[in-house]
Homo-oligomer: A and B are copies of this chain.
Amino acid sequence: MQVSIDLGLTYSIGPSRTVLLAIEAARCGGQSVLHDNIAIEEAVVHRIEGESGLGTRIWARLAIDELRLRYRAEVDVTRPAPHLERHAAAPLPELPAEAFGYLRPSRFCQSDQFGSFANKRFGGLSGGAKVAAIRDWVATEIAYVPASSDAGTTALDTFARREGVCRDFAHMVCALARAAGIPARYASAYAPGVEPPDFHAVAEVWLDDGWHLVDPTGMSTEADAVLIGVGRDACDAPFMETVDDAQPIAQSVTVRYSG
Number of interface residues of A (CB under 8 A): 45
Q: Tell whether, in the assembled complex, residue B97 and residue A48 are in contact, meaning their CB atoms are under 8 Å apart.
A: yes
Q: Tell whether, in the assembled complex, residue A112 and residue B104 are in contact, meaning their CB atoms are under 8 Å apart.
A: no
Number of this chain's copies in the assembly equals: 4
Q: 0/1 per residue, A219-246, Cβ < 8 Å to B?
A: 0000000000001100110000001000
Q: Is A93 an interface residue when CB atoms closer than 8 A count as contact? A: yes
Contacts of A49 in B (CB 8 A): 97
Q: How far is the CB of A15 from chain B (nearest CB, A)?
A: 14
Q: Is A163 an interface residue when CB atoms closer than 8 A count as contact? A: yes
Which of B59, B93, B107, B232 has a CB less than 8 Å from the CB of A61? B93
Contacts of A20 in B (CB 8 A): 92-93
- Most B Cβ at <10 Å: residue of A48, A53, A116: A116
Q: Tell whether, in the assembled complex, residue B93 and residue A59 are in contact, meaning their CB atoms are under 8 Å apart.
A: yes
Of the listed stretches A70-78, A152-160, A207-215, name the one at the interface; the rest are far from the partner chain.
Answer: A152-160
Q: Which residues of A contact B (CB under 8 A)?
A: 18, 20, 46, 48-49, 51, 53, 59, 61, 92-93, 95, 97, 100-101, 104-107, 110, 112-117, 120, 141, 143, 150-152, 156-157, 159-163, 181, 231-232, 235-236, 243
